[in-house]
Amino acid sequence: MRLAARLGVSGAALARLHLGGALAIGQFIGRGALALALLLLVRELTPQDFSTFVLALAIVAILGTVADAGFSRLLVRDTARAGAASGALVRDLIRVRMIAVATTALFAALALALGAGPFETGFAALVVVYLTLESVALGYENAAAGAERPWRFVVAQSGAAIVLLGGLVVLVQEGGVTLTTAMAVLVGASAVKVGGHLFAWRTRASRTDGAGSREKAATLFRQALPFLGLTLISTVYYKAGMVSLYALEGASEAASYAAALRVVDAVALLAVVVFLSVSPTFSRMHRDQPQEVWPTWRRMVVAVSCVALPCAVVVGVVAQPLCALLFGDQYRVSAAEDLRLMLPGVALLAVQAVSAAVVFMSDAHRDALLLGLFNLAVCLAAAVGFSAAFGSSGAAFALSLAELVSFASFTWLIRRRYGTPRPTSRALRLRQRARF
């Protein structure tokens, strides 16, 4: 604290750094473990099986957004404002959120049982269980970020990472790596993560009147609905390339794109950390100091750009040897080409996390929803069109193109809503005359 005072760092900035550092550790452990797991699987599974596994993860991400019903962003925003009452608020939000999680898991199970998706029965059942567990864990993770208690998140991620990597190493040594066994290990790790969150957030349930509970649930769902729209748009937006490429060109063509996405996920880790770190700040700023949103957004965009752009350049330069090292020689050229085409969008993805925090933490979402729908339409059209015409390279280019459109449109929205209009020349002359 004394050093921070000497350097002129405010207490709020120091709190953001502490929160961001802890969240970075948690995200690095969780996503790093998943990235290492996928690096093991890309070498143990055939290209067709690996792209099928990645497709399953993409479907889980999309359905997980539906299961979340927008409550994760509501948890961050409202928990950050609740102060000492955050524990009771988290309990109420999580309880209502479980209705959406259970409903989505049920519909997913029915759809897969009826043959939707290219999955065998055992693998499909594990996908549904994984979807349910990850959806539950996501709510607690965002609650920890909003309450600025990130070490709960770190502990849960650490336990899951140990189970995930340990289980896969055992499978590799015994030669038993298949789609089903790999997903089973993923389910076990997710179960450990959920158990850690439940233990950290344990609280004695309170009894409430049934009618009052139903009314409260309906109110919370109405509040969460805009967040569901925005989050679903962003999730489909990011996964559209993988799903459209798999559907149009098949598992073999999607394999190089799926491999390149693993490097993208490592860079996108910065975006997740940025979003969770600055969201509590913007949540309180929208309520207490809305005039500070625009200048704070500009400073944060510059700071994130100074990190994201050099990282993207370095990855682009070493793309071929990096892909060969991570995925094997069969992916050296194809995955590297896809990766280079993705990198401009990935750099913007990290910067866009600041804009997402501004939009998600505000109380007005209509314009953002309309803009998000426009961006999603651009993304889907680009993903389908370029995938059909150019295969995996087209899907990679579509990702960067769509991210550029998204960043430009949300920058325009934030500038229009929070920016200070530049004075006209006439206004400047009148201001100068008023001084004399």
Rounded CA separation 88/295 (Å): 34
Residue 70 · residue 225 · CB < 8 Å = yes
* Reported confidence tier of residue 205, pLDDT bands at 50, 70, 90: very low
Q: What is the pLDDT of residues 281-322, one digit of tens each?
A: 787 888 788 888 889 899 988 988 888 888 888 888 999 998
Question: What is the rounded distance in angstroms from the CA atom of residue 35 to the CA atom of residue 160?
Answer: 13
The secondary structure of 36-59, three-state, reads HHHHHHHHHCCHHHHHHHHHHHHH
Locus of tokens 């999955």: 119
The sign of the torsion formed by the CA atoms of 150, 198, 185, 180 equals: negative
DSSP 372-400: HHHHHHHHHHHHHHHHHHHTHHHHHHHHH
pLDDT tops 80 at residue 134: yes
CA distance 373 to 422: 30
What angle (nearest 5°) sits at the alpha carbon of residue 321, between those of residues 320 and 324? 90
**Around Cβ 46, how many Cβ atoms within 10 Å?**
12
Q: Over the stretch 243-284, which tens digit does the pLDDT of each residue have?
A: 888 888 888 778 888 888 877 776 667 677 777 677 777 878
Model pTM above 0.85: no
CA distance 409 to 221: 28
Give the closest residue to 387 by CA, choosing from 375, 399, 377, 376: 399
Which residue, among 349, 389, 371, 346, has the nearest Cα to 244 in the 3D structure?
389
Tell me what pLDDT residue 149 has: 67
